[in-house]
C-alpha cells in the first residue's frame, strides 16, 4: 500500500476529522491522519498523511502556520467565534477603532495562552469542546505560543482582518477575544 501526503483545501462546514474520514472511505485505507485541526467554519490547507507518512505528521505540527483572520468588534460569543451564541454586544467607539491596530500588534512575540474551552485539545481523552457543550469548562494550564508577525491589517467599520504567522498550538480565537 502506498504512503504519502495529500494537501487538502478544507472547505467550510466540515471538520478536519471529516476530511480524514472521507479519505479513509474513498481510498479504503485505515491509517490516515492530519497535521493540525482547523475549525469547521475555517477554510484552508490541511496536510493529510497516509499510511507510513502519518508518522511524519508530528514534524508538520511544530512548524509555523499562517492564518487569514477576520473578526467583528463589539461582539462576544460563548465559543469566541462566529458560530457561537452572542453573549454580549458592546458599543464600539472611535477610540477603540483608533487603538485596534496597536492592540493587535502588541501580541507579536511570545506569551502564555490558555487553550479555549471550545477547542479540539484533549483532556483525559475527551475534546474540550465536548466538555464545554456539557456545561463543564476545563481550565488547562497556559502554553507558551509565539506570534511571529501580523501583516495586511485592514479595518472597515466594525470589521477588521489581518494575516498572522504563529507557532504551533496558537489558538486564533483566543487571540481575537
The pLDDT tens digits for 69-124 are: 988 888 888 777 777 788 888 888 888 788 888 888 888 999 899 888 888 888 89
pLDDT value of position 49: 95
pLDDT classification of 177: cutoffs 50, 70, 90? low
Whole-angstrom distance, CA of residue 42 vs CA of residue 78: 18
Marked catalytic residue, from 18, 39, 81, 102: 39
Domain with CATH 3.30.2350.10 in the chain: 65-174
Which homologous superfamily is 65-174 in?
Answer: Pseudouridine synthase (3.30.2350.10)
Instruction: State whether residue 151 is helix, strand or coil.
Output: strand
25-84 pLDDT, tens digit per residue, is 999 999 999 988 888 888 999 999 999 999 999 888 788 999 999 888 888 887 777 777
Count other C-beta atoms under 10 Å from residue 153's C-beta: 15
**Neighbouring C-alpha atoms within 13 Å toward the C-beta of 63:** 10
* pLDDT score of 175: 75
Global confidence as pTM: 0.81
Cell numbers for 77, please give them. 460569543
Active site residue 39: yes
Amino acid at each position: 500500500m502506498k504512503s504519502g501526503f495529500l494537501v487538502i483545501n478544507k472547505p467550510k462546514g466540515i471538520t478536519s476529522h471529516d476530511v480524514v474520514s472521507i479519505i479513509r472511505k474513498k481510498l479504503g485505507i485505515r491509517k490516515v491522519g492530519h497535521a493540525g485541526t482547523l475549525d469547521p467554519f475555517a477554510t484552508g490547507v490541511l496536510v493529510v498523511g497516509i499510511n507510513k507518512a502519518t508518522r511524519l505528521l508530528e514534524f508538520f505540527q511544530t512548524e509555523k502556520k499562517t492564518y487569514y483572520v477576520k473578526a467583528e468588534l463589539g461582539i462576544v460569543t460563548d465559543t469566541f467565534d462566529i458560530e457561537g451564541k452572542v453573549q454580549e454586544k458592546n458599543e464600539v467607539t472611535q477610540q477603540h477603532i483608533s487603538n485596534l491596530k496597536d492592540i493587535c500588534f502588541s501580541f507579536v512575540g511570545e506569551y502564555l495562552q490558555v487553550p479555549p474551552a471550545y477547542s479540539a485539545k484533549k483532556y483525559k481523552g475527551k475534546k474540550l469542546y465536548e466538555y464545554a457543550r456539557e456545561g463543564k469548562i476545563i481550565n488547562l494550564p497556559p502554553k507558551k505560543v509565539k506570534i511571529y508577525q501580523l501583516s495586511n491589517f485592514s479595518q472597515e467599520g466594525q470589521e477588521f482582518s489581518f494575516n498572522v504567522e504563529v507557532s504551533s498550538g496558537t489558538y486564533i480565537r483566543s487571540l481575537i477575544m
